[in-house]
Chain A
Amino acid sequence: MKPTDIAAPDYFHKVVDCQWACPAHTPVPEYIRLIAQGRYSDAYMINWKSNVFPGILGRTCDRPCEPACRRGRVEETPVAICRLKRVAADFKDDITQRLPRPAAKNGKRIALVGGGPASLTVARDLAPLGYHCTVFDADPQAGGMMRSQIPKFRLPNSVIDEETGYVLGLGVEFKGGHRIDSMKALLAEKYDAIFVGSGAPRGRELDIPGRKEAAANIHIGIEWLANVSFGHVEKIGKRVIVLGGGNTAMDCCRTARRLGGESVKVVVRSGFEEMKASPWEKEDAIHEDIPILNYMVPVAFKHVAGKLIGVTFQQVKAEYDAKGRRNLVPSGEPDQTIPCDDVLVAVGQENAFPWIEQDCGIEFDKWHMPKVDQKTFVSTNPKVFFGGDAAFGPKNIIWAVAHGHDAAMSIHRLLSGEDINERPLPDVQVSSQKMGIHEWSYDNDISNDKRYKVPHRDKVVALKDIRAEVELGYDVKLALGEAHRCLNCDVQTVFSTSLCIECDACADICPMDCITFTNNGEEDDLRTRLKAPSPHPDQDLYVSSDLKTGRVMVKDEDVCLHCGLCAERCPTGAWDMQKYLIEMTHAGSSCPTKSRSAA
């Protein structure tokens, strides 16, 4: 293999698995260290800069970072990154002084359709640069789906108010209760750019017999959740069936439990394991005495005299074809009817753009989705950008934030007369953490603690009050324990070939057998000759240039604990622990415009 080019910004970025996996690339280990030091406000600001809604995400994020966390490859469970983010939000001081000041306007006007996370991110990035941002939303308050669809027992209004408030406080104009009905009319108002962050607002229908007849007791999940959020719905029948296996279904069933549903069941077509809902959301539902029945396909709503009495299901099993694709085929068991008073349908969401006229210069594809560039988020109309669920279909908040940053960058470049396809390089800093012979500016003593559980409100109390937040968050002590579990994957092992005397000290001390001195070879061959097996080829090998004996140093990045013992035991300083900090460029960063190689 060729010597690894550690100067390429992506090489070490990939080693910070959590940050690499995060769509917004939040520097996770950096803020977790600050939490461990009790610097909650600093930790919050790092998050705020990167993902705009730390308090909201710390409660609701889909956490792509956690399955990626290296700790999960070393022991059973990853670091509770998401809940540590909430700690920063919970314990911070007043940070208003640290926010950007509303800037002098530069005369350019941006219209943002929808007041959810994507639009607010664009506004957050552009308002401090002097753009006049106007956010339109049909609802009276900002927040979009964060406010309407996520139940208050998971995300209290106070958190949404605070964090949407930080954005609107930057001098962003918010027009609540103002639905945009016509793109043409909006274009006619001569905004310099338009951003569409209107989400995926339509719940998918379930057209099976009895749907129309029993309509009074069949509710579309996201609409019902919104009605609950805004206080239009306050109760539901005692026996409730929730159809669907995503996170919306989990929110529906738990909400139903709090509005009078005594016997609430979730019924899914697929197997329990393949459900789209996050494992922890399924856990929370089960904890609230909600059974999840799987491999059952709804075939009819049963009704008597216009009143719903139950749902009939066909029982299926999973069969896999030669290509490994799953098919659900009837299992041959008799159909089953489950009696109920109400049904909540949460079988998916769809985009809907009835308000965008055909002749706006915005092209749609055969799935009725706008044609949007994956990198710049521009539509076929060079002044109109899309982001969040509106761009590529339903995802989640953190993706919406990531889209928002990229779209804001495009808008800023467009309005500054620059090519929007050229993206500035991220800002990368690499600095040695050496403080003394065996002292580092980070805590390299690895904690053996298991993942700490987040305290929950007592179930009886929680189920009585739909606004009582179930998760209470870590206290300072639990947060400290959990923060210590972080392996500091951003503190990189950096190797200098010229200093190495091949004494083997690093290979001997490495607790994870990551380091091997051997003859060079092709990657496939080299991976078979390492000190320990190399089961994850997606994890890079760090290969040195030729050493004095003709061998090379090969380090498998896979399960490195970043404990720094290789550097402590190295007599010549050939190993050093260097903190790698990558900051993604947002609109207004003054980096040289060179195209990035990847990511």
Chain B
Amino acid sequence: MTYIAKPKFQHPGLKKNDLGYTHRDYEGKVSTLCAGCGHDSITASIIEACYELSIEPHRVAKISGIGCSSKTPDYFLGNSHGFNSVHGRMPSVLTGANLANRDLIYLGVSGDGDSASIGFGQFAHSIRRGVNMTYIVENNGVYGLTKGQFSATADRGSKSKKGVTNTDNAIDLVAIALQLGATFVARSFSGDKTQLVPLIAAAIRHKGASFIDVISPCIAFNNHAGSTKSFDYVREHNDAVNRLDVLVGRDPIAVDYAPGTVQVVEQHDGSKLALRKLDADYDPHDRLGAQTFLARHAAKGQIVTGLLYVDPDAEDLHEHLNTVETPLNTLEADTLCPGSAALDKFNASLR
């Protein structure tokens, strides 16, 4: 880690967003992770996405569990709300917070240990309930804090730094998320910000459960030959199905591509995603097709990245529960507890 604070000086020509902020205004404290950690690149991508979307930092709640990845919310959005929860319990805390105040933007940051092992159940239920959130897993395939044991997402047959081969089957969180009904599913790579930043921005704008699995090489314990989560391996086996090039508001898209190569996806809030197809046959609206595609490529050792599935008309938990538009935490006591007369009336309706 670095012991000095990042200097306050910034490039005099930095561009400002609609709120008058530069990307430096979205930073947090200086990272204490190992030098070169992929997680730091994801941090930088989240900063960039929030800057580009002109998000007011105080409108964001960043929630995490335990692990290297779960430390990172300290390194971005220093002026946002945050909650560092118990190991694996980020999804539950996030769900609760979301229920209490539906107006905030929820950013769940977790790792492969936090989400695929101790919090696997929590992960599953928050996805299947359709909590309106952006769930980012910083996936390095090892337990970095405890010196590099295989995690549940480590591929069968991959080798540890000491040369031990992993004999367990891997959990593919993207496949699980698809199966559990996530309405925005993507995979990306910490070493490819041009792909990752628009995906995070699109996920934040998506209403419903957005899940992004980001392969993030562990520089200390999982960046060697034989690893399937190293910089070199991911770069060699990366099979991007599409590139999300622009994310625009309600303005018409002006991107000049050959006809048929760009697919425009309009989301619930009117924002549009311009997807440049890299695999002509891939359809990001086909959940079943995505699952098959994923399984077939995983068998060949390929890592499928890009926007894998999106349901632009998704509903979220609040719609399922038919809650009021006003965030519950701002309702007055007499509204939340209307008194015994109202209770009697309600009970009578059930008789």
Contact = CB atoms under 8 A, between A and B. Distances in A.
A565 interface: yes
Interface stretch (B4-12, B92-100, B163-171, B293-301): B4-12
Contacts of B3: 438
Given A438-B3, A445-B4, A571-B36, A513 B11 contact: yes
Nearest to B11: A532
B231 A563 contact: no
A512 B8 CA distance: 9
Contact of B9 (A74, A444, A445): A74
B339 interface: no
A559 B10 CA distance: 9
Contact of A505 (B5, B24, B36, B193): B36
A75 B37 CA distance: 31
A508 B7 CA distance: 13
A181 interface: no
Given A445-B4, A503-B217, A549 B13 contact: no
Contacts of B10: 511-513
A559 B11 contact: yes
Contacts of A505: 35-37, 40-41
B235 interface: yes
Interface in B56-109: none
A75 B10 CA distance: 9
Interface in A292-336: none
Contacts of A532: 11, 13-14
Given A511-B6, A565-B2, A74 B12 contact: yes
Contact of B4 (A73, A444, A501): A444
A487 to B, nearest CB: 9
A592 interface: no
B43 interface: yes
A436 to B, nearest CB: 10
A137 B235 CA distance: 74
Contacts of A96: none
B44 A508 contact: yes
B11 A503 contact: no
A568 B35 contact: yes
B6, B11, B13, B41: residue with the most chain A Cβ atoms closer than 10 Å: B11
B41 A561 contact: no
Nearest to B194: A518
B43 A508 contact: yes
Interface in B160-205: 190-191, 193
Interface of B is mostly: loop
Give the interface residue-count category, chain B: 35 or more
Given A502-B191, A565-B2, A73 B35 contact: no
A47 B122 CA distance: 67
Nearest to A511: B7
Nearest to B34: A571
A569 B34 CA distance: 8
Nearest to A569: B35
A14 B165 CA distance: 52
Contacts of A444: 4
Give the interface residue-count category, chain A: 20 to 34
Interface in A407-431: none
B231 A561 contact: no
Nearest to A74: B9
A406 B31 CA distance: 50
B14 A513 contact: yes
A561 B7 contact: yes
B248 interface: no
A28 to B, nearest CB: 20
B314 interface: no
Contact of B35 (A507, A549, A559, A571): A571
Interface string A486-515: 000000000000000111110111011110
Given A532-B14, A561-B7, A565-B2, A508 B235 contact: no
Given A504-B41, A572-B36, A561 B9 contact: yes
A448 interface: yes
A533 B35 contact: no
B9 to A, nearest CB: 5
B113 interface: no
Contacts of B232: 501, 548
B246 interface: no
A107 interface: no
Interface string A544-583: 0000110000000001010101001111100000000000
Contacts of B219: 503, 571
A563 B11 CA distance: 14
Contact of A569 (B2, B7, B12, B190): B2
Contacts of A446: 7-9
Interface in A335-358: none
A502 B1 CA distance: 19
Contacts of B223: 501
Given A74-B12, A509-B6, A533-B13, A502 B35 contact: no
B306 interface: no
A73 B13 CA distance: 11
A74, A507, A571: residue with the most chain B Cβ atoms closer than 10 Å: A571
A192 to B, nearest CB: 54
Contact of B40 (A75, A448, A508, A514): A508
B38 interface: yes
A231 interface: no
A73 B2 contact: no
A532 B232 CA distance: 28
Nearest to B6: A511
Given A501-B231, A503-B219, A73 B12 contact: yes
Contact of A503 (B6, B12, B14, B41): B41
A117 to B, nearest CB: 37
Contacts of B217: 503
A514 B38 CA distance: 20
Interface in A197-229: none
Interface string B11-55: 111110000000010000011001111101101100000000000
Nearest to A574: B36
A512 B9 contact: yes
A445 B193 CA distance: 29
B4 to A, nearest CB: 4
Contacts of B11: 512-514, 532-533, 559
A204 B3 CA distance: 60
Contacts of B24: 511
A444 B1 CA distance: 15
A503 B37 CA distance: 8
Given A503-B217, A503-B219, A504-B191, A565 B6 contact: yes
Contacts of B35: 505, 568-571
A532 B23 CA distance: 11
Contacts of A572: 36
A514 B14 CA distance: 11
Contacts of B14: 513, 532
A411 B264 CA distance: 76
Interface in B113-147: none
Top 8 A-B pairs, shortest CB-CB distance: A571-B36, A533-B13, A446-B7, A532-B11, A508-B44, A445-B4, A503-B36, A511-B7
Given A504-B44, A509-B2, A569-B31, 12 more contacts: A75-B9, A501-B232, A504-B40, A504-B193, A505-B41, A509-B31, A511-B24, A513-B10, A532-B11, A532-B14, A571-B34, A571-B36
26 contacts: A73-B12, A445-B4, A445-B5, A446-B7, A448-B7, A448-B9, A501-B36, A501-B223, A503-B36, A503-B217, A503-B219, A504-B40, A508-B43, A509-B2, A509-B30, A509-B31, A509-B40, A532-B13, A548-B235, A561-B7, A561-B9, A565-B4, A569-B2, A569-B36, A570-B35, A572-B36
Interface of B: 1-15, 24, 30-31, 34-38, 40-41, 43-44, 190-191, 193, 217, 219, 223, 231-232, 235
Interface of A: 73-75, 438, 444-446, 448, 501-505, 507-509, 511-514, 532-533, 535, 548-549, 559, 561, 563, 565, 568-572
